[in-house]
Amino acid sequence: MSRHRAVRNLDIDDILQEDDYDSEYDEDAIDETAISTEDLETLEEALTYIYSIIGEDTILSEKEIKETLWNSYFDTEETLNWALEKIEKVKAIEEKKKAKEEAKKASQAKPVSSLQSLAQRNSIQKTIPSSTNSLSHLASRTSNNALGSLASLAKKQPTTKPILTHTPPVKPPPVIKPQVVVVKEEKEEEIMENALIAKPSTAAQFLFQDLPTHPTSLEPVSSKVSTIPVFTFNQPSPDDIVLSAQNQPTAEKKAAAAAAAVTAAAKPKSSRKEEDPVEFLSDEEDLSQEMSAMGFKTHSEPLAKIPSSKRVNVLEEFEKRSGAKPKLNLVVIGHVDAGKSTLMGHFLYALGQVNERTMKKFERDSQKIGKGSFAFAWVLDETGEERDRGITMDIATNHFETQNKSFTLMDAPGHRDFIPNMISGTAQADAAILVVDASINAFEAGFDAGGQTKEHAVLARSLGVQQLIVAINKLDTVSWNEARFKEVQAKLGAYLVQVGFKKNNVVFVPLSGLTGENLVKKSEIPELTSWYKGTCLLDQIDKFSPPMRLLDRPLRMRVTDFFKGGIGSSGGVSVAGNIESGTIQVGEQIMIVPGGEIGYVKTMQVNEEPATWAAAGDSILMTLVQLDILNLSNGCIVCTPSRPVPVTGLFEAQIVVFDIRIPITPGYPVVLHHGSLDEPAFVYKLIEVLDKSTGQVIKNNPRCLTKGMTAKIQIKLSQRPIPLETFKDNKQLGRIMLRKDGETVAAGVVNEILTFGS
């Protein structure tokens, strides 16, 4: 199972719960499936997890389910593919079984499920409560016409009862995608006039068709109900049309409907009958209308000013590039003075990233100011102040390659004053190296209360980092003592598991950043080799799994820096940042949010090399033209003009409360960290406290939140709205961190955006 075991996010692990279900399964369906119970449990766990995030009422298409699976749960392509493969397999088995069942129909054989029989075969005695069976939930939340493998899998699950008192498979309830009414080939006024006339529902029409306009008495309904034609829900019901029409009173919505009509007219004719006035809109149209109805600027201009001959097929290019060496963002974190910069400076030097001459200069210059021991740290600590003070203050980035991967390295500051910078770097990371100082008392100082070792570990996990190397550093100061290594490993290991890291995703490497032992090649010193048989840091880094990238999502790039003048002294504005989702290419039109300023990409660099395109996961520098630098700020988002990121001043979040002394009450002021952005905010409302292990609501409208609680709350920005997305839409932009008086008080995910700005 470990091969496929999905890894989950700490905050979610803590906030959300696994289904603790019990089920008995059908006896008579021993079948040929080769899928293990563990596999099924993992799938169920994944789905449960996803539902916990997306909420009870969300309806997903098959595509969305797949996307959500990898976006929220399976972080690597390997685990996702594994899940999809299993799902397909179960689907095939279910179909086969269905065919068999139909053949046996005459004999009235009890319907069976291969999942159930499988469990039975594996002697699992479980019952699945209706509220917690993720697969059943899936069935009820998957649109009818998009029922895919997952849904068919789900349909076969019992809902409430043990299988021995079998209930019929749950038919997914009909699902209607929110629609906009579009009347073909009508003038705008006609469209709106017609749309605004409420029509009776099918049932109402039927019941009242023979009655006078103001009926004084009604016929018994039951006499007619049996003849009401069954509405199949494969299209919006008349009620939905009426509701939709009634919900279109504003000017924007009128415009949206009219725009939709134009779009619909331009669309190729569907197989729908001509007289059918309802047309489904594509997701893009839907969203852009929703956005404009909510007051967002959306843009219908072409997304790119690039002649098609010059347009790059970014996805294709990305495939080619991935085939070469997958790219990862790696952050180095840890308590102040643990030796992070020295370790990584020496590491880069040993890899040949820093030339001999530069290194000699660093040695000379650092000695001159009495900081000779910081020579390697100067590779990453580049500013005068950092070198004078001997501490890292801001994230320093660098690039290196291992045998199989390409890394962007971010060295984070360890000092508590610079935690916002650490958060900003860690928010972009796919993996982390946590450096601890093994020398006597130093580990304890970093680990005990007030130290940054624990805080950095929690922050990293809460920001979505799942893979971790713990570099047990400065072992030269304790003569490579095995007992000390084990002591640090035991204490820290237990803590890391407690805060949500999976044991298998954490590796401890003994080393010395100063002497260079065990960095890029396996140590040969007997003091270490006598007890350590593992790999060196470089080989361990090479083992990090590349994460799934949100390539097919709208472009989201968080701006981390900007300045006047383009790359290579050209005109325009230089903008640096990390692409969280989507792709971008030279010539393309982009939008800056907040503000909605439109510009174009003139030139671009990825990893300091000129490039024509970039994709999710890349840290880039680009020259933007035709926009005003005054509309840029650190933390703003560069996005696709047709799919701008929402801007909000009030949202709902699901949080885990950390070790706090003063309880959180409504009005509690915090600094809200969102990527590289930190903004004053306050807790607006406490909605409910959730049970950590079951996910059930244990208290509505609590008066306060204390240490360790999991809760849903509303958060209001104090000064200005910020760009934000829900976790289910974009996990990179859906995480938040709450800090107060220099301490992290809570971390969580965005559930719902409650107000929209622009």
Ligand X SMILES: Nc1nc2c(ncn2[C@@H]2O[C@H](COP(=O)(O)OP(=O)(O)OP(=O)(O)O)[C@@H](O)[C@H]2O)c(=O)[nH]1
- Site residues for ligand X per CB under 6 A: 334, 336-343, 373-374, 377, 390-392, 413-415, 473-474, 476-477, 512-514
Residues 636, 719: contact at Cβ < 8 Å?
A: no
Query: Which of 451/513 has CB closer to ligand X?
Result: 513
As measured in angstroms, the least distance from the Cβ of 439 to ligand X is 7
CA distances from 390 to 341, 349, 417, 450 (A): 10, 19, 14, 20
Closest approach of ligand X to the CB of residue 343, in Å: 6
Give the nearest residue (CB) to ligand X: 414
Nearest to ligand X of 5, 415 (CB atom): 415
DSSP state of 531: T
Instruction: Report in angstroms how near the CB of residue 574 gets to ligand X at its nearest.
Output: 27
Residue 503 CB neighbours (<10 A)? 9
Closer of 184 and 389 to ligand X (Cβ): 389
Q: Which amino acid type is present at position 54?
A: I
At 573, the amino acid letter reads V
Spatial separation of the C-alpha atoms in residues 386 and 418, rounded to whole Å: 12
In this complex, which beta carbon is closest to ligand X, that of residue 111 or of residue 425? 425
Q: Which of 694, 578, 46 is nearest to 327 (CA)?
A: 578
Q: Whose Cβ is closer to ligand X: residue 241's or residue 377's?
A: 377
Nearer to ligand X, 374 or 508 (CB): 374
In the complex, least distance from residue 535 CB atom to ligand X, rounded to whole angstroms: 18
The CB-of-416 to ligand X minimum distance in angstroms stands at 10
* Least distance from ligand X to the Cβ atom of residue 334, Å: 6
Could you tell me which residues come within 8 angstroms of residue 169 by beta carbon, excluding any fewer than 6 positions away?
111, 113, 155, 156, 157
Q: Which is nearer to ligand X, 338 or 423 (CB)?
A: 338
Q: How many residues are given for the chain?
A: 758
* Min dist. Cβ of residue 672 to ligand X (A): 25
CB of 372 to ligand X, least distance (A): 8
- Name which of 25 and 378 has its Cβ closer to ligand X: 378
Cα 253 to Cα 110: distance, rounded to the nearest angstrom: 52
Whichever of 339 and 675 has its CB closer to ligand X, that residue is 339
> CA 711 to CA 685: how far, in whole Å?
11
Cα–Cα distances (Å) from 196 to 78, 193, 580, in that order, read 51, 5, 41
Place of tokens 């088995």: 93
3-state SS assignment for residue 322:
helix
Kindly tell me which of 343 and 620 has the beta carbon lying closer to ligand X: 343
Sign of the CA dihedral with 277 first, then 278, 283, and 288 last: positive
Residue 143 C-beta: closest distance to ligand X, Å:
51
Cβ atoms of 90 and 41 closer than 8 Å:
no
Taking the complex as a whole, the smallest distance from the CB of residue 128 to ligand X amounts, in Å, to 50
Report the DSSP pairing between strands 697-700 and 743-753: unpaired
CB of 742 to ligand X, least distance (A): 16
Q: Measuring CA to CA, which residue among 567, 636, 569 is closest to residue 608?
A: 567
Please choose, from the candidates 547, 591, 719, 733, the residue with its C-alpha nearest in 3D space to the C-alpha of residue 653. 733
End-to-end CA separation in angstroms for the chain: 46
Burial 99-113, CB ≥16 within 10 A → b, else e: eeeeeeeeeeeebbb
Task: Give the DSSP per-residue string, 590-607.
Answer: EEEETTTEEEEEEEEEET
